[in-house]
Amino acid sequence: MIIYHADDYAANQEISEHILECHRDGVLNSVSVLFNSPHVAACMEMLKPYISDLHTNIHLNLAEGPSVADPKKVPLLVDERGMLRTSFFRLFLISLLPRRSAKRCEWKKQISFELRAQLEIAKQYVSSIRIDSHQHYHMIPMVLEAIFENVEPEKVEYIRITSEPFTPYLKHPDVFFSLKPINLVKGAVLKICRLLAHDLLTPLSKKTAIFCGILMSGHMDHKRVSIICPELVKIAKKKGLPVEILAHPGGVAKPDDLLDPKNADCVEFYLSNGRNIDHEMFCTIKKTKQ
């Protein structure tokens, strides 16, 4: 089985409509929903006609947009506007502190409080617990610990373990040398997170997929995905797992009603041409016989 997955559903209605186009016109069969979005109610209404055909994941978010929890109770996670603005690498470094250190404990407490609030909203719309996160923050051990304070691991139906195999790319040097160096760094950091979170993730190793979506991030074009996907399928068959092809096909023409129009890095992402490339990939790639 191949999971063709789009992140960032409900970021706004324009992005959500572009994602749904990839289901109607292409191979998309799975989405992640940003439940801290002010647009979530309208976007979930848009999703209703397709909900039986799409896996629906909870896209836990510490990176952008409004906090669901009272900002006064999560001051470490938000700016003066109550917007989530904590960087991945800051949380990663804090996660390396001793587990009983006061600083780490306070950060985890506030993260747990915010994620609990997001999960409560998610429960209004989804019946199964399928977990991933915005910008892959859930791979940080401290964040994963906070998730499992609020979700019993045995009740998790699916979790994205963002540890992308490098071997398929090394077999195709033309693809490997087209990868952005920053994506190789991100892929390596996420593999380190996987190792650090070994004890937490190993019991869920049969509730995940062989992942693809970091190394080609920003340019998930049809040609390269078609080359790499068969290699991933081979790995997946040996492990008895599906493959997850992740992309971000939802772009915008204007940033006015994004989660946080003042978050320059996120605005640049949603406005980039990579969103169009991802959209085209999902709408043109041939369906693999499953």
Please determine, for residue 10, whether its predicted confidence score (pLDDT) is greater than 50: yes
Give the CA distances from residue 229 to residues 136, 175, 183, 218, 234, in Å, rounded to whole numbers and listed in that order.
21, 12, 18, 17, 9
Measured CA to CA, the distance from residue 79 to residue 62 in angstroms comes to 12
Domain total for the chain? 1
In a domain? residue 252: yes
In a domain? residue 190: yes
In a domain? residue 25: yes
For the stretch 147-196, pLDDT in tens is: 999 999 999 999 999 999 999 999 999 999 999 999 999 999 999 999 99
In a domain? residue 38: yes
Query: Considering the entire predicted model, what is its pTM?
Result: 0.95
In a domain? residue 290: no
Count the neighbouring beta carbons within 10 Å of the beta carbon of residue 202.
11
216: domain CATH number is: 3.20.20.370
Please, which pLDDT band fits residue 253 given cuts at 50, 70 and 90?
confident
With a pLDDT cut of 90, the percent of the chain lying above it is 94
In a domain? residue 199: yes
Which residue segment(s) compose the domain that 239 sits in?
2-284
Please determine, for residue 134, whether its predicted confidence score (pLDDT) is greater than 80: yes
In a domain? residue 289: no
